[in-house]
Amino acid sequence: MKLGIDPETLETLQQLKTRYGDTVSMLRPNGRRAYFVNKPADVQRILVKQHSRYVKGPGFERVKMLLGNGLIVSDGDVWRRSRTMIQPAFSRQKVHQLLRVMVTCADRLALRWARLTKQGELINITEETSEFALELILISIFGPDYETTIVADGGNPFAFLSRDSTRDLSVVLKVRKLREMLLDIIDSRRQRGANDEFDFLSMYMQATDKEGAHFTDDELLDELMTLIVAGFETSANTLNWVWYLVAGHPDVEDHLLEEAKRIMPGVDSVSADNATKMVYTQQVLEETLRLYPPVWLFTRRSRENEVIDGYDVPADTDIYLSPYILHRTDHYWPNPDRFDPERFVATAAPKKDRPFFPFSLGPRRCLGEYFSFLEMKIHIALLLPRFRLALTDTREPELELGINLRTARDIVLRPSLRD
Ligand code: HEM
C-alpha cells in the first residue's frame, strides 16, 4: 500500500483503523512492513519515553531540500546538539521580548483590513493569516534586517514558501537565492559586530555547544530555514481555521469578544500575563488544533527491534501516528466532529484520557508552542473586536493534506467594522 503524505493516505488510514482496530500492520509494495499506531499509551511511549529508539520516518525527503539538516529533520546527536543550543532562545522570558513585534504585525493587518472594509472588498483570510504569520516570524528572526534587506526590493522573497510546490525546480533556485541572501545578512552582522539586536538570528549566532563551538554557516542556514518553515505555516493555518470556525459559531464569537475586550482592550494592555488570562481564547485555539492539527501525520522509523501492542516490530520499520485521526476518535472525544471549545475547560476529563498532541510530545515536542499561542492570542484580541468577518460560503472547506493540513481553497470572508 502506497502511503504518502496526501489525502488518499488519510482515507486509507481511517479505513484501516475502522477495519482492523487500533494497531494496524501493513505490507507496502516494496515489501516493507509499516505500522499505524493508535493506542494513546503506545503513541506516548514512541514519542516520549522511548523517543531515542526512533528516528524521523518517510515523508521528509522533500522538506530536506529546504531544511537540510535542521532541527525538524535531523536525528540523534546532530539533533540533540542543535536542540540544546537553540532551546534557550525559546524560553518564556525571551519570547516575551517579541511581544511588541506581535503587536506591530497585528496592527499592520488591522490597517489593511480597515482599508479593505471601507472599499467594500472581501478578505481572503487564508492569505491574510499567512502574511501575518510569515512577516511575524521573519521580523522575529531578522529584526531590523527584515525591512532593510529582505523586503527592500519590494515583495517578500519568502512568500513562495506558503505554496507547497517544493518539487518544482524553480523552488530549488529560489531556495538557493534565499540562502545566499541569509548568508549576506549573517556576514554583514559579523562585520558590524552587531550583537545588540534582540532577535532569533542573534541568539542563534551566539549559541554555543558543550565544546564552546558556534553553528557553522551551513548549520545556521539550515536552522534559520527550519525556523521560518516550522514557525509560520502552522500558526497561519490555525488562525485561518479559527476565523472560519468563529464566523460559523456566533456564541463562540461573543464569548471570545467579551474576553478580548475585558482582558486586552487595546495595544497598551498586551502583556504575557494578560495573554495567560485569556483562558477561553486558549480553549478555542486548542479546540481548533484538535479538529485541524496542522501536522496531521507524524512518521517515525524504529532503530531497534520493538514490541508495539503485542506485535514484533523489527528495526527499520516505518511507524505512522496521526493526531488528526486520534483527535477525532469518538471513544476519546464524543461527537468528535463538533467544534466545542468547552471540551477544554480546566475541569474536563483528565488529559490522559483524551489524546491531544498537535505540538507532538516528548523531547522533540514543538519549540514554538508558547510563541504560537502568544501570537495567536494577540492576533485575535487585537483584530476580533474591530472586525466582524462573515462567511461567504457555508460549505465546510475541503482539506488539503500536504506536510501541513490546510484548506484546499482559500477562505474568503466579508468584513464589517464593529462599533
Ligand atoms: C500552531 C502552531 C504550531 C504547531 C501546531 C506546531 C507543531 C509542531 C509539531 C507537531 C512538531 C513536531 C513534528 C514532528 O516531530 O514530526 C513541531 C516541531 C517544531 N516546531 Fe512547531 N508548531 C507550531 C508553531 C511553531 C512556531 C511558531 C515555531 C517557531 C517560532 C515552531 C518551531 C518548531 C521547531 C523548531 C520544531 C522542531 C523541534 C525538534 O525537532 O526538536 N513551531 N512543531
55-64, 125-134, 298-307, 373-382: least confidently modelled range: 55-64
Range among 4-13, 50-59, 63-72, 328-337 with highest mean pLDDT value: 328-337
Residue 59 near ligand 1, beta carbon < 6 Å = no
Residue 71 near ligand 1, beta carbon < 6 Å = yes
Work out the average pLDDT over 161-179.
Answer: 69
Residue given cell 534559520 in the structure block: 224
- What is the pairing mode between strands 387-391 and 399-401? unpaired
Task: Supply the CATH classification number for the domain 7-417.
Answer: 1.10.630.10
On the question of pLDDT at 59 being above 90, the answer is no
**Residue 196: how many CA atoms within 13 Å on its side-chain side?**
2
Distance of alpha carbon 403 from the chain centroid:
11
Name all contacts of 154-158 with Cβ < 8 Å and 24+ positions apart: 156/131, 157/181, 158/134, 158/228
Q: Which of 99, 140, 234 to probe ligand 1 with, by most ligand atoms within 8 A of CB? A: 234
Closest ligand 1 atom, CA of 200? 30
SS3 169: helix
Distance CA 142, CA 150 (A): 9
For residues 351 and 215, the model is more confident at: 215
Going from the Cα of 339 to the center of ligand 1, the distance in angstroms, rounded, reads: 23
Residues 6+ apart with CB under 8 A from 92: 272, 370
Work out the average pLDDT over 36-43.
Answer: 96
Among 376, 354, 169, smallest CA distance to 256 is for 376
pLDDT at 117: 98
Among 273, 237, 239, smallest CA distance to 92 is for 273
Reported as a single tens digit per residue, the pLDDT across 258-315 is: 999 999 998 999 999 999 999 999 999 999 999 999 999 999 999 999 999 999 999 9
Q: Where are the beta strands (DSSP E) in 251-342?
A: 298-302, 306-308, 311-313, 318-321
C-alpha cell at 169: 525546480
Please state, rounded to an integer, the average pLDDT across all residues of the chain.
92
Q: Which of 47, 238, 366 to probe ligand 1 with, by most ligand atoms within 8 A of CB? A: 366
Work out the average pLDDT over 18-25.
Answer: 95
On the question of pLDDT at 152 being above 80, the answer is no
Atom 20 in ligand 1: which residue has the minimum CA distance? 366
Reported as a single tens digit per residue, the pLDDT across 322-336 is: 999 999 999 999 999
Query: What is the helix, strand, coil percentage profile of the chain, to 5?
Result: 55, 10, 35
Identify the band that residue 3 occupies on the pLDDT scale cut at 50, 70 and 90: low
pLDDT at 85: 98
354 and 332 Cβ atoms separated by less than 8 Å: yes
Residue 68 near ligand 1, beta carbon < 6 Å = no
Among 368, 343, 341, smallest CA distance to 355 is for 343
Residues 6+ apart with CB under 8 A from 306: 50, 53, 312, 313, 315, 317
pLDDT at 258: 98
Number of residues assigned to the chain: 419
Q: Which helix (H) or strand (E) holds 233?
A: helix 217-247
For residues 65 and 366, the model is more confident at: 366
Q: Would you tell me how many other CB atoms lie within 10 Å of the CB of residue 349?
A: 10
Q: What angle, rounded to 10 degrees, do the helices at 369-383 and 217-247 form?
A: 40
Residues 6+ apart with CB under 8 A from 334: none
Identify the band that residue 2 occupies on the pLDDT scale cut at 50, 70 and 90: low
Work out the average pLDDT over 409-417.
Answer: 97
Identify the band that residue 34 occupies on the pLDDT scale cut at 50, 70 and 90: very high
For residues 90 and 396, the model is more confident at: 90
Distance CA 122, CA 118 (A): 10
16 and 302 Cβ atoms separated by less than 8 Å: no
Q: Would you tell me how many other CB atoms lie within 10 Å of the CB of residue 346?
A: 7
Residue 299 near ligand 1, beta carbon < 6 Å = no
Amino acid at 309: D
pLDDT at 125: 97
Per residue, the 3-state secondary structure of 31-59, as one string, reads CCEEEEECCHHHHHHHHHHCHHHEEECCC
